[in-house]
Amino acid sequence: MVPAIREERLTVTTERDTDLIITAKGVEKTYDTGKLRVPALRGVDLTVRRGEMVAIMGPSGCGKTTLLNCLSGLDTIDSGTILIAGTDLSKLSDNARTEFRARQMGFVFQFYNLLPVLSAVENVELPLLVSGVRPKDARKRALEVLEQVGLAQWANHRPAELSGGQRQRVTIARALANQPAIVWADEPTGDLDSQTADEVMALMRHLNQTNQQTFVVVTHDPRIGAMCDRIIRMQDGRIVSDDLVE
CATH of the domain at 64: 3.40.50.300
Across the range 64-78, mean pLDDT stands at 94
pLDDT tens for each residue of 26-35:
999 999 888 8
What value does the CA radius of gyration of the chain take, rounded to a whole number of Å?
A: 18
Across the range 178-190, mean pLDDT stands at 90
3-state secondary structure of 34: coil
Q: What range defines the domain where residue 106 resides? A: 51-72+93-244
Give the dihedral sign, CA 82/84/86/88.
negative
Return the pLDDT at 17: 61
Angle at 49 between CA 47 and CA 51, to 5 degrees: 145
Q: Is the pLDDT of residue 127 over 90?
A: no
> What's the whole-model pTM score?
0.86
Q: Is the pLDDT of residue 9 over 50?
A: no
Nearest to 65 by CA among 41, 34, 82, 48: 41
C-alpha distance from residue 132 to each of 92, 135, 169, 221 (Å): 20, 9, 24, 37
Helix axes 164-176, 120-130, angle to 10 degrees: 20
In a domain, 39, yes or no: no
Across the range 142-151, mean pLDDT stands at 92
In a domain, 59, yes or no: yes
Q: Spell 51-87 as b/e; 16+ CB within 10 A means b.
A: bbbbbbbbeeebbbbbbbbbbbbbbebeebbbbbbeb
Across the range 132-159, mean pLDDT stands at 93
CB 27 within 8 A of CB 80: yes
In a domain, 236, yes or no: yes
In a domain, 108, yes or no: yes
In a domain, 45, yes or no: no
- Cβ neighbour number for residue 213 with a 10 Å cutoff: 22
In a domain, 88, yes or no: no
- Give the integer Cα–Cα distance in Å for 183 and 72: 9
In a domain, 132, yes or no: yes
pLDDT tens for each residue of 149-164:
999 999 999 999 999 8
**Domain tally for the chain?**
1
CB 61 within 8 A of CB 84: no
In a domain, 10, yes or no: no
Q: What values do phi and psi take at 107, rounded to 5? A: -130, 135
Q: Are strands 230-235 and 79-84 parallel, antiparallel or unpaired?
A: unpaired
